[in-house]
Amino acid sequence: MDLTAEIAKELVPSSELPSFKSGDTITVFYKIKEGDKERTQFFKGDVLQRKGNKSTETFTIRKISNGIAVERIFPVNSPIIEKIEINKMGKVRRARIFYLRELTGKKARIKELR
């Protein structure tokens, strides 16, 4: 095994997250520190992509908030992520669904996998 891959495996804490892919609707609960207080906030949206591997993996979530599109990138191994809930499994034919950025309304819907 490659030495750098072995060291990266030891350094990165493995978190037990559910398996999800692009097109799924998920809710990410993450911790926010404000001064000396800490609270949990959630971000619910569609997964646009998963990128990277092992220790450098990230995923992008997109939601529409008051008519404004908001995208957020989370590292998979981030210590601020408390848990991830899968709300809906989507059926898409691409790994990166950036075409949703140009679509609005009913065209921007993702079919649900049954």
89-100 per-position pLDDT tens digit: 999 999 999 999
The residues pairing with 37 across neighbouring beta strands, listed in sequence order, are 34
Whether residue 89 is contained in a domain is answered as yes
In the chain, the amino acid numbered 49 is: Q
What is the count of structural domains for the chain?
1
Whether residue 113 is contained in a domain is answered as no
C-beta separation of 62 from 73 below 8 A: no
Alpha-carbon span 56 to 88, nearest angstrom: 25
Whether residue 114 is contained in a domain is answered as no
Whether residue 83 is contained in a domain is answered as yes
Domain of 19 in residue numbering reads as 3-104
Whether residue 110 is contained in a domain is answered as no
Whether residue 112 is contained in a domain is answered as no
Q: What is the CATH number of the domain that holds 73?
A: 2.30.30.790
Which H/E stretch holds residue 99? none
12-69 confidence digits (pLDDT tens) = 666 678 999 999 999 999 999 999 999 999 999 999 999 998 778 999 999 999 989 9
C-beta separation of 73 from 57 below 8 A: no
